[in-house]
């Protein structure tokens, strides 16, 4: 393939995604502000760049995987994606941002002859590593069709959600609202069960074939709680960011979320307790700590 790809943000998600692109014989130009991420990227055969400017000037398609809407915004404006990108560049933003940012960036991109898709993903680090991510893509269908072969390298379930550049983000945020609930549900259920004398493995065996089962229970329990290892994964801080945006979205469309909106305060508390940079499954640890008080 002689399409040249760029990747900005080589973190927990961006690194394995860029790795899959390199393994598929694409030339990938990468940039991250974290030197550790850069050296890992170099080791796998990526082309290391020193700036966003250097990336965009060499590529046909640009991927982003950045931690917050504010950082995404900064890369477009202050750090020069808009200014330095060649006309016709295709930009696929896999970060989870707020719907309004998708719309404003899309408009600015149109004005500058850049193609932009808001393309958040679900499936976690494991999904990124195994190329089984779900893509929820908002923007012109013709752009989606154009990048489908690339998304196919990274994911398994590839959805064009709608023509509006924020449509993928809307469903992604709804997904993460559910994740916020389920993660806390797992924390409370396991805490209650163990305090009533139940064994974790036995609970998992039985609940896994009962209606309490969920993908999040399986993920949080098997990958983190059972291993007693809370290295992310998906951090509490990132979940909190998404819950805040979901709450804001509910306010904008005047929908009341009786419990969902309380999740913001609850996960803020978990983050303040020191679990912000841990995987979100640490909600269990927080709940367990409280049980003893
Ligand atoms: P991360 O913090 O591990 O990675 C983000 C990377 O961006 C870091 O390596 C950081 O150094 C880099 N970065 C920050 N500012 C930068 C800048 N100005 N220029 C270049 N690089 C910069 O986060 P992550 O878990 O990989 O998540 C990335 C995005 O994907 C987030 O929007 C998150 O909500 C979303 N997401 C994450 C998961 C998950 O399971 N981790 C799943 C789905 C979606």
Quick: pLDDT tens for 81-111: 999 999 999 999 999 999 999 999 999 999 9
Q: Count the Cβ atoms, other than its own, within 10 Å of residue 222.
A: 12
Q: How remote is the CA of residue 182 from the centroid of ligand 1, in Å?
A: 22
Fold classification of 170-291 (topology level): 1.10.1040
Indicate the length of the chain as a whole number.
293
pLDDT of residue 2: 84
Mutating to test ligand 1, I would choose from 10, 11, 76, 236 the residue with most ligand atoms within 8 A of its C-beta, which is 11
- Give 33-59 pLDDT, tens digit per residue: 999 999 999 999 999 999 999 999 999
Q: Report percent pLDDT > 90 for the chain.
A: 98
Q: Report percent pLDDT > 70 for the chain.
A: 100
pLDDT of residue 1: 53
pLDDT at residue 258 above 70? yes
pLDDT of residue 233: 94
pLDDT at residue 292 above 80? no
- Give 174-190 pLDDT, tens digit per residue: 999 999 999 999 999 99
Any atom of ligand 1 within 6 Å of the Cβ of 70: no
C-alpha count within 13 angstroms, C-beta hemisphere, residue 146: 16
Residues 245/239, Cβ–Cβ less than 8 Å: no
pLDDT of residue 274: 97
Residue with CA nearest ligand 1 atom 25: 12
pLDDT band at 231 (very low <50, low <70, confident <90, very high): very high
Q: Is the pTM of this model over 0.90?
A: yes
Mutating to test ligand 1, I would choose from 14, 46, 66 the residue with most ligand atoms within 8 A of its C-beta, which is 66
Any atom of ligand 1 within 6 Å of the Cβ of 9: yes
pLDDT at residue 293 above 90? no
d(CA 283, CA 236): 8
Q: How remote is the CA of residue 34 from the centroid of ligand 1, in Å?
A: 11
Which of 23, 74, 172, 269 is catalytic? The answer is 172
241 noted as active-site residue: no
CA-nearest of 265, 188, 193, 172 to 220 is 188
Q: Which CATH architecture has domain 4-163?
A: 3-Layer(aba) Sandwich (3.40)
Residues 200/220, Cβ–Cβ less than 8 Å: no
Residue extents of the structural domains in the chain: 4-163, 170-291
Written as six digits, the tokens of 101 are: 């940012």
Long-range contacts of 127-132 (CB under 8 A, 24+ apart): 127/155, 128/12, 128/13, 128/16, 128/17, 128/20, 128/154, 129/16, 129/19, 131/20, 131/155, 131/156, 132/156
What mean pLDDT value characterizes the chain? 97
Any atom of ligand 1 within 6 Å of the Cβ of 47: no
């Amino acid at each position: 393939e002689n399409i040249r790809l760029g990747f900005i943000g080589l973190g927990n998600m961006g690194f394995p995604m860029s790795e899959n692109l390199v393994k598929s014989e694409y030339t990938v130009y990468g940039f991250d502000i974290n030197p550790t991420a850069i050296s890992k990227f170099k080791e796998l055969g990526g082309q290391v760049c020193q700036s966003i400017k250097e990336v965009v000037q060499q590529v046909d398609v640009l991927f982003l995987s950045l931690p917050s809407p504010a950082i995404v915004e900064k890369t477009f404006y202050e750090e020069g994606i808009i200014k330095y990108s060649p006309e016709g560049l295709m930009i696929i933003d896999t970060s989870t941002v707020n719907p309004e940012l998708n719309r404003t960036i899309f408009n600015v991109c149109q004005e500058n002859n850049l193609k932009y898709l808001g393309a958040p993903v679900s499936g976690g680090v494991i999904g990124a590593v195994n190329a089984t991510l779900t893509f929820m893509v908002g923007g012109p269908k013709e752009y989606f069709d154009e990048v489908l072969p690339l998304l196919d390298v990274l994911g398994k379930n590839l959805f064009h959600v709608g023509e509006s550049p924020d449509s993928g983000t809307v469903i992604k945020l709804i997904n993460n609202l559910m994740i916020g609930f389920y993660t806390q549900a797992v924390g409370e259920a396991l805490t209650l069960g163990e305090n009533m004398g139940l064994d974790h493995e036995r609970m998992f065996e039985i609940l896994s074939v009962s209606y309490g089962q969920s993908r999040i229970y399986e993920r949080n329990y098997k990958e983190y709680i059972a291993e007693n290892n809370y290295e992310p994964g998906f951090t509490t801080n990132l979940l909190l960011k998404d819950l805040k945006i979901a709450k804001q979205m509910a306010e904008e469309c005047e929908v009341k979320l009786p419990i969902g909106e309380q999740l913001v305060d609850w996960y803020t508390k978990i983050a303040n307790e020191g679990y912000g940079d841990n995987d979100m499954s640490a909600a269990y640890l927080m709940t367990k700590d409280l049980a003893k008080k």
